[in-house]
Amino acid sequence: MAEIFASYSIFADYQALAEPDKINVLTREIGSARPLTAQLQFSAPTNETVALLRLMRRAKDEIDEDAVQTYIISMTNTASHVLETLLLAKDAGLLGRIDIAPLFETVSDLDAAPQIMAALFENAAYRRHLELRGQRQQIMIGYSDSNKDGGYLRANWMLFLAQRTLARLCDQYGVKLTLFHGRGGSLGRGGGPANRAILAQPPESVRGRVRLTEQGEVISTRYANMALARRHMEQLVNSVLLTAGRRPRFAQEEAWAQRMDALSDIAFHKYRALVTQPEFLTYFHEATPIDHIGALNIGSRPARRKATQGISDLRAIPWVFAWTQSRVSLPSWYGVGTAVEQWCADGQDASKLAELREMYRQWPLFCTVLDNVQMGLAKADMEIASLYAELTDDATRTAIFSDILDEFQRTERLVLLVVEEDQLLAKEPVLRRSIKVRNPYVDPMNYIQVALLQKLKTERDAERRQQLTAAVLSSVNGIAAGLQNTG
């Protein structure tokens, strides 16, 4: 946008404008009949974006109006991001012909989403767009980056709050909301039973309309077999119909929400204390195969958004994938144990423990969250994870893996205390047996992968390194196939 404006001398430095000024100029340009991109005379990235929108218009003109329906804006964090897309869409002849779906991904973006959407609903140019779309608005929420940013419990709670607030906001402005769930296959990316997840959402956020992503190995798992595909679709339809009907209202929900605020805040600080430790990045790169995952042909995009080594620019799929490979499954449980421990004084405060047990029995959201934590704990293997920890130095291992192991044991003990069971997945015997039967086939590949990574650390011969790397990638594929819900 900055390049286009500069080329026509509209603004020399559009990016330097304050957000209100950006909104003003974008609103004015959306209402203007003057074209902005008559010729593809810009840099390659800008030309590609303009050409993509023209291709969308061509698909609608020559194939079918429904050929392309939605433009998703990844990492939306301002109203101007949406208006910039609307301006480019208008310039391509798509005004009123596509839904523009902001994607709110990080914890802070989920928190800001209602304010951003309110600013758009108050904007004259955007109201005109909504009128042309029949007052329909898709809003996408991201499970992956919110988890990587704030940890499992904080992400799930922020997603719930965002959905509830956005639904009420759309009601206020007379807008028909469709929430688009950016779920992945792993628990750290919104995975787990989809029908239970839908039933656990705020009832006002569904109302007979839901959209979600299906990706990775989940597609073949759920749809390769006709009988399984039909059953999965029946479960989704069932949950949406139940949600659209008369949902139970919980007298204690406000009290439960206050407890979730407190629990998620404790879990968030525990998680951030881990990932901001100086030794954490060293551990992540040395005790997981993350540096090899980027070489695999397993994703549509690079592993990193930018050429840095920090986790903030690492895409969520390789983040979860690496922790799954090393059998830690950290994104699906870390921080929950500390949250419960501090809330109910390590289980010694009987009244607070009773409150959590009540939430688990009666509130679908809390029940779904803790059941998924049980699944994450059951699929992790700290004995094998300790082998990966041996790949790094003593100081790093002591600082990071000792903390991970301690939190794992704490989480398992306290979750079982809340759900009142003596073993994980006691209510899911089929799943528990599936994990038990599968592991003997997957575990040897982990041992092989650790040995290969250890050899790579000292191998200097280029040809030999290439052979070892190829073997590591094969082990990554094998472990992923065995564990299944990798991301």
pLDDT tens digits, one per residue of 186-226: 554 555 667 777 777 777 777 778 888 877 667 887 888 99
pLDDT of amino acid 307 = 45
Radius of gyration, CA atoms only, the chain: 24
Band of residue 419 on the pLDDT scale cut at 50, 70, 90: very high
Question: Percent of the chain, pLDDT > 70?
Answer: 91
Question: What value does the mean pLDDT take over residues 91-117?
Answer: 93
> Which of the pair, 182 or 190, is modelled with greater confidence?
182
User: CA-CA distance, 157 to 103, in Å (whole number)?
Assistant: 17
User: CA-CA distance, 390 to 454, in Å (whole number)?
Assistant: 9
Band of residue 241 on the pLDDT scale cut at 50, 70, 90: confident
pLDDT digits (tens, 9 = 90+) for 154-175: 988 998 899 989 999 999 999 9
| Non-local CB neighbours of 245 within 8 Å, separated by 6+ positions | none
**Mean pLDDT score of the chain, rounded to an integer?**
88
Report the Cα–Cα distance between both ends of the chain, in Å, rounded. 33
Looking at residue 399, the DSSP 8-state letter turns out to be I
Question: What value does the mean pLDDT take over residues 438-459?
Answer: 93
* Token duo for residue 49: 């974006």
pLDDT of amino acid 14 = 94
Helix (H, G, I), strand (E, B) or coil at 139: strand
Bridge-based pairing of strands 211-212 and 99-104 is: unpaired
Q: Which helix (H) or strand (E) holds 71?
A: strand 70-73
Q: Which helix (H) or strand (E) holds 4?
A: helix 2-7
Band of residue 312 on the pLDDT scale cut at 50, 70, 90: low
Band of residue 300 on the pLDDT scale cut at 50, 70, 90: very low
Q: Which residue has the tokens 């499970």?
A: 143
pLDDT digits (tens, 9 = 90+) for 249-281: 778 889 999 999 999 999 999 999 999 999 999
Residue 98 has pLDDT above 90, yes or no: yes
Q: Are 412 and 406 in contact (CB under 8 A)?
A: no
Domains recognised in the chain with CATH numbers? 2-244 (3.20.20), 253-436 (no CATH)
pLDDT of amino acid 345 = 86
Q: Is the full-model pTM beyond 0.75?
A: yes
pLDDT of amino acid 341 = 96
Q: Are 372 and 332 in contact (CB under 8 A)?
A: yes
pLDDT of amino acid 327 = 95
pLDDT of amino acid 174 = 96
pLDDT of amino acid 352 = 93
Q: Are 364 and 196 in contact (CB under 8 A)?
A: yes
pLDDT digits (tens, 9 = 90+) for 125-156: 999 999 999 999 999 988 766 678 889 999 88
Range in 206-220, 255-269, 399-413, 432-446 the model is least confident about: 206-220
Residue 36's nearest CA partner among 7, 56, 66 is 7
User: CA-CA distance, 93 to 56, in Å (whole number)?
Assistant: 10
Band of residue 311 on the pLDDT scale cut at 50, 70, 90: low
